[in-house]
Amino acid sequence: MIAVGRELLIGRTINTNAHWVGKRLAILGTQLARISTVDDDLDEISGSLGEALSRRPDFLVVVGGLGPTPDDMTVKGVARGLGKDLAVSRQALELIREHYVKVGRKDFRLTPARRKMAVLPEGAAPLENEKGTAPGVRIETGATVIFCLPGVPSEMRSIFSRSVLPEIRGRIGKLFRVAARLKIEGIYESALAPVIARELTRHPGAYIKSHPKGVKGGISRIELDVVVVNGDQEAARKGASGIVNTVTADILRGGGRIVSQTGVRADAG
């Protein structure tokens, strides 16, 4: 994922879009491999695009910079990074026109700012934006599908859910994500580390992560996440349950205790 916008770099805006996308992909059974945040600058956008594509991802999601203002340069930067020309898309123009009619602006005029939002790289397709004006963009290069989405959270989420998520789900197939969270007291993270390392060796591909919550009254507090993803639901359940049971036994032997457990639950992608 590439997040575009100086406001993200100077602390004006928190990147809630990356948090939202990352969580949705995790629930689906896959994940973001990298998140890059870049300035509203053509060289930064095109350069970051090239770096991302060199890693040959299945999907690349670029968020922000699709609007009508001069600092919105994402589409131009993507086109530069791909070595493609830009042209007005009649389909994108129609989507923009439909949006204005829908919100009661029947006197639609094609101003330069509105026309800018309909300019796409050659070979790109616009994606309907039900929450705003600027269409999203879908373009393929090699084995990678690039999606460009608006930075406004409600617009990004709408297009992602409607257009991006179904395509990713179709590519990765049916996966089951089984997760548990343990709240632990009375054992330090350094004592838990070898237990986690052992279980990661036994269960390659599992996500086992400790989150220290500090020490209060001389008692260490830790939250432990366990996640297993598998195409077979029962195999995913057994894998997660096995890890939880083994880790719990080690914690109790080490003098710790389990304060609470969210339980092993399955979320179908």
Contacts (Cβ under 8 Å, ≥6 apart) of 105:
none
Contacts (Cβ under 8 Å, ≥6 apart) of 8:
14, 15, 37, 64
Q: Let me know whether 61 and 121 are in one domain.
A: yes
3-class DSSP assignment, residue 23 = helix
Checking if the pLDDT of 219 tops 70, the result is: yes
Out of 125, 146, 172, pick the residue that ends a domain. 172
Checking if the pLDDT of 203 tops 90, the result is: yes
Mean pLDDT of 63-86: 96
Q: Work out how many domains the chain is built from and give that number.
A: 2
Distances (CA, A) of 252 to 88, 136, 186, 249, 257: 65, 52, 9, 5, 6
Residue 261 tokens, joined: 């457990």
Q: Let me know whether 258 and 225 are in one domain.
A: yes
Q: What is the pLDDT of residues 130-158, one digit of tens each?
A: 999 999 999 999 999 999 999 999 999 99
Checking if the pLDDT of 230 tops 80, the result is: yes
Residue 96 is part of which domain span?
2-172
Confidence label for 2 from pLDDT (cuts 50, 70 and 90): very high
Residues in a beta bridge with 136:
127
CATH number for 107? 3.40.980.10
Q: Let me know whether 146 and 199 are in one domain.
A: no
Distances (CA, A) of 19 to 1, 15, 36, 193, 268: 11, 7, 13, 26, 20
Q: What is the pLDDT of residues 170-189, one digit of tens each?
A: 999 999 999 999 999 999 99
Average predicted confidence (pLDDT) for the chain: 94
Q: Let me know whether 91 and 191 are in one domain.
A: no
The CA distance from 2 to 148, in Å, is: 9
Single-letter residue type at 30: T
Q: Let me know whether 111 and 203 are in one domain.
A: no
3-class DSSP assignment, residue 121 = strand
Checking if the pLDDT of 110 tops 90, the result is: no
The CA distance from 169 to 62, in Å, is: 18
pLDDT at 269: 47
Q: What is the pLDDT of residues 69-80, one digit of tens each?
A: 999 999 999 999
Checking if the pLDDT of 105 tops 80, the result is: no
The alpha-carbon radius of gyration of the chain (Å, integer) is 23
DSSP 86-99: EEE-HHHHHHHHHH
Out of 124, 143, 172, pick the residue that ends a domain. 172
The CA distance from 167 to 144, in Å, is: 12
Q: Let me know whether 168 and 202 are in one domain.
A: no
pLDDT at 100: 85
Q: Let me know whether 65 and 127 are in one domain.
A: yes
pLDDT at 104: 77
